[in-house]
Amino acid sequence: MLLAGDIGGTKTVLAVFSPEAGAHAPLAEATFPSSRYGRLEAIVREFLAQVTFPIDRACFGVAGPVVAGTAQVTNLPWLMSETSLIETFGWSAARLLNDLESIAYAIPILEPDDLHTLNAGAPVPQGNIGVIAPGTGLGEAFMTWATSASARAWASRISTSISSKAAMPRSRRGWQRPSPAQPTRRR
């Protein structure tokens, strides 16, 4: 089973998903005030103490840049590492993604009730996806469909990595990894 999380400076939302129930039916879900905890692992421990599902992998969308499997939440002193999470919890895999990157990955599986149309248009099969999220900064991510031979080769290299296996179901491996923008700094 997969533990998924949305890690932000204000709150952290954790949920458990199974392949059988699917992405739209969390088996358990809880929200925690991030600032009351010293690190992500403390929240995960508290959540896992409340559920009885066997977690074997995890994926977290983080409010801030993720570089080489490590991240620091923009408005918290937490330092997170995929390696540390795997070692601490004994999971087969863990993945940290920028939160806008994780939203971009979710766009293709949204259902009609998940959407609110601002400007009607015709969907383009395998079209580009853009995400813009104004907040403390201006978060941006985009996703393009792998159509050229070089893009498919790049995507296949990504799909063989453990991090890709941890975060993406096989049906999504044709997508190129989105490129989240660096967060805007306030002056």
- CATH hierarchy code of domain 2-98: 3.30.420.40
Q: What is the pLDDT of residue 1?
A: 94
Low-confidence ranges of the chain (pLDDT < 50): 150, 155-187
Q: Where are the domains of the chain?
A: 2-98, 104-172
Q: What is the pLDDT of residue 175?
A: 43
Q: What is the pLDDT of residue 35?
A: 93
What does 32-76 look like in DSSP terms, one character per residue? EEGGGSSSHHHHHHHHHHH------EEEEEESS-EETTEEE-TTS
Q: What is the pLDDT of residues 70-93, one digit of tens each?
A: 998 888 999 999 999 999 999 999
Q: What is the pLDDT of residue 49?
A: 96
Q: What is the pLDDT of residue 146?
A: 65
Q: What is the pLDDT of residue 152?
A: 52
Q: What is the pLDDT of residue 18?
A: 94
Token readout for 102 is 């994780």
pTM of the model: 0.73
Q: What is the pLDDT of residue 6?
A: 95
